[in-house]
Structure 1
């Protein structure tokens, strides 16, 4: 599932983040994702079946822990690439005594933001 980069960023659902961080295979993916990779590359690097890899990538992107981008290829066979989209995850108590989750991210360059925009446009066509 691709996060909408143009949506109001309320932050991820606490339970989605906790579920993803609690999952051993999700943690293996995050640990091994040093640079953007396709699902096939992730499955091979992490020694996880491809069908399981896709489920874990959905879980991690839904939790806003991974960002999905599009690799534009000249042959028209574009591929999704995934990269880690956080530096720190903090779980705390709000003023209303509810649990809250905050994710700090690396600031994105203008080129990276433009690439995200182009990726979203390509997905719609």
Structure 2
């Protein structure tokens, strides 16, 4: 991950409202309206933060259909954890997703072997 992207990800997860939304959707997928109500944020604020989170692939959305045929999106977290490290005056950000857990194990093993 290049330095500019690292800074953008750190800025995004450093945003208080973005963290609130991530915490809410880490428990279960929610619509923008549900997020606005739960986090006591305006809908425009929720949509701006969701857009930031989607840009860095931290959130995904799914379309749901109500009984009367109306569609709406629900948002959910797209990662298991993040690790931020500082090494030789450079930040490194690792984003672990469920689908890359074998990669995570391999990385941890390599780090142990390097020590």
State the TM-score, normalizing by the size of structure 1. 0.64
Deviation for aligned residue 1:93: 6.9
1:82 aligns with 2:91: no
Does the C-alpha gap of structure 1 residues 73 and 31 become closer, same or farther in structure 2, counting only changes over 3 Å?
same
Q: 2:84 aligns with which of 73, 79, 91?
A: 91
Contact 1:16 1:59 in 2 (8 A): no
Larger relative strand fraction: 2
Structure having greater relative contact order (Cα 8 Å, sep ≥ 6): 1
Deviation for aligned residue 1:104: 0.7
Distance in 2 separating the partners of 1:91 and 1:101: 5
1:31 aligns with 2:23: yes
Q: Which residue of structure 1 aligns with residue 44 of structure 2?
A: 51
Distance in 2 separating the partners of 1:15 and 1:82: 24
> Please, what is the CA RMSD of the aligned residues?
2.7
Distance in 2 separating the partners of 1:80 and 1:104: 24
Deviation sequence 1:54-101 (CA, Å, 0-9, x none): 00110111121111121134544211110011111123479xx86443
Distance in 2 separating the partners of 1:15 and 1:78: 35
Kindly report which structure 2 residues correspond to 1:1-125, keeping only aligned pairs within 5 A, or say none: 13-33=5-25, 34-73=27-66, 75-92=68-85, 99-107=91-99
State the TM-score, normalizing by the size of structure 2. 0.69
Structure 2 unaligned segments of length 5 or more: list them. Answer: 101-115
Q: How many residues are treated as equivalent by the alignment?
A: 97
Deviation for aligned residue 1:49: 0.7
Structure 1 unaligned segments of length 5 or more: list them. Answer: 1-9, 109-125
